[in-house]
Structure 1
């Protein structure tokens, strides 16, 4: 989205369609997010993750994905995004690891961190191992108490997407993370050594 007025209108449309989706018994939650910070991504990537609007639809099981995606509200939601945006990515996923459920009932600072293999050789299971290795750092250093690690169930540009929230503002989270020497010597070093590119984006509820 290029214009703020256009994004505001799109978000209102998406929220209404998400409300419709939540009426289905197979849908646990349908949540719309607006980006507040998308840092630049280094390296050469075919599909850098730069999405200023995100929609998360959570179903009771992966077996219901096909029926939910065929719902008129989902079709309209997908069409609204594609009609307003030049870059849309739809990912069917399973929850590969869960630290604790991410609370969407109230606003916070929400993370969608897209991971891609830098050399195309790192698969999802290997990426999960890297994430598990780094998760303890985020718990200890940033106060992370929840996280849902989403793994694609089909072909995808990303090997993982990590979703989480903090009850803090951007300056506080940035200070907790970037001021730590170990963020560079441990977190970034592990990502680099495993040829894993992290593309984080921070959101608020729409």
Structure 2
């Protein structure tokens, strides 16, 4: 049975953001936890991670040469910011930490193109290297289900992948939309594409992806603004939604 959005007595302090039509693209999200870091902490760069990133960049360039219609972006973990849910520590939910410090995002207008990449010999080699270099991995097909605006991958910035676990996916989508106005007002957020897993690992209900120009636009708000805890995190908790945000830079 679908759960209804639970709203707290916040007097509509942050209006809902306006959404555009979702993208028709197909996505493949590949995430890996290579290095172990305490929470919260700026993520380290071990030799193993550096080598794997070099291999991943070489693979990306080869695939984009063979499949020009595919958009492939590689991200290196920068920091795990405040915002991870206390539900992660509740054994009754059996939620899993997302501490992925390497992410590959593939986008295509054609689902068949992503399938071709997955069955290619070069991907099989990369997948094996990621598997042996990582503590844990996450691979899923996805579609865009909600969108504020496109995430700009054409220029540097600070990028968020927020891995959500939830009791009810629709409730997760509803509370994401309900709280996104806080990010718009407090951090100047003007873009976001919410990815809904559609085949592969079903650990996470949704994965939100967005961008800021620099770390100072977003990190101080998450650390110092009381309204982030009182408005955003309380709404997530009330709706049994566990966000696990990680900030990245493109490589």
* Structure of higher CA gyration radius: 2
Q: What is the RMSD computed on CA atoms of the aligned residues?
A: 2.0
Q: Which of 190, 207, 210 is equivalent to 1:161?
A: 207
Specify the alignment match of 1:53 in structure 2.
Answer: 102
What SS does the aligned partner of 1:105 have?
coil
- Measured in 1, the distance between the counterparts of 2:244 and 2:105 equals 17
Q: Which of 178, 197, 200 is equivalent to 2:223?
A: 178
Specify the alignment match of 2:137 in structure 1.
Answer: 88
Specify the alignment match of 1:29 in structure 2.
Answer: 71
Number of residue pairs matched by the alignment: 201
TM-superposed CA distance for 1:131, in Å, is: 1.0
Q: Could you tell me the TM-score, scaled by structure 2's length?
A: 0.74
Specify the alignment match of 2:30 in structure 1.
Answer: none
Q: Which of 56, 60, 72 is equivalent to 1:18?
A: 60
Mean CA deviation greater in 39-48 or 171-180: 39-48
Residue 173 of structure 2 corresponds to residue 128 of structure 1: yes
Unaligned runs of 5+ in 1: none
- Measured in 1, the distance between the counterparts of 2:126 and 2:152 equals 22
- Measured in 2, the distance between the counterparts of 1:46 and 1:131 equals 18
TM-superposed CA distance for 1:104, in Å, is: 1.5
Q: Does structure 2 retain, via aligned residues, the 8 Å contact 1:26–1:68? A: no
Mean CA deviation greater in 15-24 or 157-166: 15-24
Q: Does structure 2 retain, via aligned residues, the 8 Å contact 1:22–1:29? A: yes
TM-superposed CA distance for 1:26, in Å, is: 7.1
Residue 114 of structure 2 corresponds to residue 72 of structure 1: no
TM-superposed CA distance for 1:161, in Å, is: 0.4
TM-superposed CA distance for 1:6, in Å, is: 1.3
Mean CA deviation greater in 76-85 or 39-48: 39-48
Q: Does structure 1 retain, via aligned residues, the 8 Å contact 2:70–2:113? A: no
- Measured in 2, the distance between the counterparts of 1:52 and 1:146 equals 22
Deviations 1:109-157 (A, max 9, x none): 010000002xxx312x221111111112111111111111000003510
What SS does the aligned partner of 2:107 have?
strand
Q: Does structure 1 retain, via aligned residues, the 8 Å contact 2:81–2:219? A: no
RCO higher in structure (CA 8 A, sep ≥6): 2
Q: Which of 140, 149, 161 is equivalent to 1:112?
A: 161
TM-superposed CA distance for 1:76, in Å, is: 2.4
